């Protein structure tokens, strides 16, 4: 398995609180991604990073921000969590971009916003 660690693995919090999820990789891959997974939707891209301090928005970026200060860490922040952000969040990495490059995934973080 690719060396990807997501933390925490589970979190329950209240509406309006800030939440930060961490993705740590040991592969030294340039590209990192945050997805959310909801029933009936597959995975949807929130934000991605193509290098330290280089990030861009994905399909469902509203309400989320990211930061990448080191190659190995990619943080996803919900500034003020809402119940619609209850989901399973996956981090992924890839060595390069290009349309034949697979992504490798962490085990996910299950986030519940009450």
Partner 1 sequence: AQSVTQLDSHVSVSEGTPVLLRCNYSSSYSPSLFWYVQHPNKGLQLLLKYTSAATLVKGINGFEAEFKKSETSFHLTKPSAHMSDAAEYFCVVSDSNYQLIWGAGTKLIIKP
- Binding site residues, partner 1, CB under 8 A: 4, 40-45, 48, 58, 90, 92, 97-108
Residue with tokens 């991605």: 48
CB 98 to partner 1: min, Å:
6
CA 54, CA 51: separation in Å to the nearest integer?
A: 5
Residue with Cβ nearer partner 1 (78 or 91): 91
CB 104 to partner 1: min, Å:
7
CB 84 to partner 1: min, Å:
18
Question: How far does Cα 48 stand from its chain's mean position?
Answer: 8
Residue with Cβ nearer partner 1 (48 or 81): 48
Residue with Cβ nearer partner 1 (74 or 90): 90
CB 82 to partner 1: min, Å:
23
Q: Residues near 37 by Cβ (< 8 Å), separated by ≥ 6?
A: 43, 44, 87, 88, 89, 90, 108
How many Cα neighbours within 13 Å face the side chain of 8?
Answer: 9
């Amino acid at each position: 398995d690719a060396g990807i660690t997501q933390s925490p693995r589970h979190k329950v919090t209240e509406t309006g609180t800030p939440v930060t999820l961490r993705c740590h990789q040991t592969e030294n891959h340039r590209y990192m991604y945050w997805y959310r997974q909801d029933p009936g939707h597959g995975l949807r891209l929130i934000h991605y990073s193509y290098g330290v301090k280089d990030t861009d928005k994905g399909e469902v970026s509203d309400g989320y921000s990211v930061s990448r200060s080191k190659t190995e860490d990619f943080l996803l922040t919900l500034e003020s969590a809402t119940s619609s952000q209850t989901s399973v969040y996956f981090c992924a990495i890839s060595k390069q971009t290009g349309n034949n490059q697979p992504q490798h995934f962490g085990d996910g973080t299950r986030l519940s916003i009450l």
